[in-house]
A = this chain, B = another copy of it.
Amino acid sequence: MRASDRAYATLLDQIQSGALAPGSVLGEVEQAARLGVSRTPLREALGRLAADGLVVQQSPRVTVVSDVDVDDIRSLFELRRALEETAARLAAVRGDSPAFAALAEDFGRSSLRGDDGREAYYALIARFDAQLDASVGNDYLTSALRTVRTHLVRVRRLARDIPERLAASVAEHRLIAMAIAERDADLAAHATHVHLHNALATILASVDASQPRKAPL
């Protein structure tokens, strides 16, 4: 594995997990020393993170981990809606119907008890996303979705997981998978719309609850 890949993977993980908080300054020599690589591959890693939008060049001299506020979340979900509704429609038209029927089954079966439940949930979502990408067969769309999902990891961390919401989310995904399996493009798109609306509402409520200072602006 290349040093630049390791540096990118490590930084990505630490930004997504919050170990590198928004606003953290990423000096080249400092990070290179910390990650045990030289400046050259580290610069490449920073460049890729900047392309992803996870770090920004605050001034021409200092790169920082990008911030994520409520407006960012709204913006991200606007893009996400556009992409996922389109993906759902396309998958319904040309997707692998049996695969989505099987996914719908899995969503129906999944019991989300305990802490393992959350892991199983995210694993199932990941499988669903992968099947969606494969069924759509559009690299441009997949690439755009990849960026959205990269940012989404951090957004999810901001919002506390609510067990009831998790269960509802599974049901929503089950409906989407069923709609795609039955080649009902409108239903797939509208169910995706509903799902993203609910997900955003939950996230915003959770964020507002934990950061009420910004509300009375």
Contact = CB atoms under 8 A, between A and B. Distances in A.
A53 interface: yes
Contact of A78 (B48, B53, B141): B141
Contacts of A83: 79, 82
A90 B74 CA distance: 12
State how many copies of this chain the complex holds: 2
Nearest to A137: B75
Instruction: Identify which of A82, A137, A138, A147 gathers the most chain B CB atoms within 10 Å of its CB.
Output: A82
A143 B78 contact: no
Interface in A44-61: 44, 47-48, 51, 53
Interface of A: 40, 43-44, 47-48, 51, 53, 72, 75-76, 78-79, 81-83, 85-86, 90, 137-141, 143-144, 147-148, 151
